[in-house]
Amino acid sequence: MLNSQPSAITSYVNALGLTESYYHQALHWFESKAFNVKGLTLGWSKWVSQHENLYRIKEKRVYVGDGIKVGKEGRKMPGVKRLHQESGNVAKPEWIRGHYFNALSVLVGAGKACFALPLVLRLDDGIKSKATAKEGKKGSKKEKTTLVTKMGELCTTYAEAGSYVILDAYFGLAEKS
95 CB-near residues (< 8 Å, 6+ apart): 82, 83, 84, 85
Contact 63, 118 (CB under 8 A): no
Strand partners, 98: 71, 81
Domain count, the chain: 2
Q: Are 109 and 53 in contact (CB under 8 A)?
A: yes
**pLDDT reading at 39 higher than 80:** yes
Do residue 85 and residue 150 come from a single domain? yes
Question: Do 58 and 68 reside in the same domain of the chain?
Answer: yes
56 alpha-carbon distance from chain centroid: 25
Residue-level pLDDT at 142: 58
Give the N- to C-terminal CA distance of the chain in Å, as an integer: 44
8-state DSSP, 7 = H
Residue 62 lies in a domain: yes
Enclosing domain of residue 156: 36-172
In this structure, are 26 and 59 located in the same domain? no
Instruction: Assess if residue 155 is contained within a domain.
Output: yes
pLDDT at 123: 78
| pLDDT at residue 7 in the model | 56
pTM (whole model) above 0.85: no
C-alpha of 14 from chain center? 25
The verdict on 114 and 44 lying in the same domain is yes
Residue 63 pLDDT class (50, 70, 90 cuts): very high
How far apart are alpha carbons 30 and 28 in whole angstroms?
5
The answer to whether residues 45 and 61 belong to one domain is yes
Q: Are residues 84 and 66 in the same domain?
A: yes
Q: Which of 45-49, 82-86, 135-139, 167-171 ranks highest by mean pLDDT?
A: 45-49
Let me know whether 78 and 116 are in one domain. yes
The pLDDT value given to residue 149: 82
Question: Do residue 87 and residue 164 come from a single domain?
Answer: yes
Query: What residues contact residue 162 under an 8 Å CB cut-off, 6+ apart?
Result: 60
Q: Give pLDDT, residue 5.
A: 47
Largest CA distance in the chain: 59
Flag whether pLDDT at 89 surpasses 80. Answer: no
47 and 58, same domain (yes or no): yes
